[in-house]
Amino acid sequence: MSKQMLILDTSCPQCAALLTEGSQILLNAFVHDTHQEGEMRLSALFGDYSVATELELPPGSVVEFRCPRCEASLTLPLACKLCGAPMTSLNLVKGGYVEFCCRRGCQGHALGGIGDIDHMMSLMNRMFETPYD
């Protein structure tokens, strides 16, 4: 049996621009610790924490993410439950959203909908393209 991977097709919550390109999510980033800004590519595979960037990204550094199209900040007024850093939110093209921690190395993240278990199961079925929705 092969393991099915969950690629997150994401969009900007502000302008609805598609942010997933292949297996990566393209974002603009500002690294607070080094005061650098530029492009950052995050893995679109749910649970994969790999990052591709030319920016200096020390362990534990906090990054502010922005939409590459409209430049809107994607940071939420919400602290990570694991480390206290800000959270970032992206919309999922098939419905719902994904939130993830802005601190390098923290694995705080969540898939979300409207807080209803039936809605979450429907979202997962749409994401895995199962016939149960």
Q: Cα angle vertex 65, ends 64, 68, to 5°?
A: 145
Residue 5 falls inside a structural domain = no
Q: What is the pTM of this model?
A: 0.80
Residue 102 falls inside a structural domain = yes
Say if CB 56 and CB 40 are below 8 A apart.
no
Q: What is the chain's length?
A: 133
Is 1's pLDDT higher than 50? no
Residue 113 falls inside a structural domain = yes
- HSE-up of 1 (CA within 13 Å, CB side)? 2
User: What is the C-alpha separation between 12 and 75, in angstroms, rounded?
Assistant: 11
Please, which contacts does 55-60 make with residues 24 or more away whose CB atoms are closer than 8 Å?
55/29, 55/31, 56/31, 57/31, 57/104, 58/33, 58/34, 58/104, 59/104, 59/105, 60/33, 60/103, 60/104, 60/105
Residue 99 falls inside a structural domain = yes
What is the pLDDT averaged over residues 86-109? 89
Domain count within the chain: 1
Among candidates 128, 16, 27, which has minimal Cα distance to 111?
A: 128
Compute the mean pLDDT over every residue in the chain, rounded to the nearest whole number: 85
- Which residues span the domain enclosing 42? 10-128
Residue 20 falls inside a structural domain = yes
Is 7's pLDDT higher than 70? yes
Residue 133 falls inside a structural domain = no
Percentages of the chain per state (helix, strand, coil), in multiples of 5: 10, 40, 50
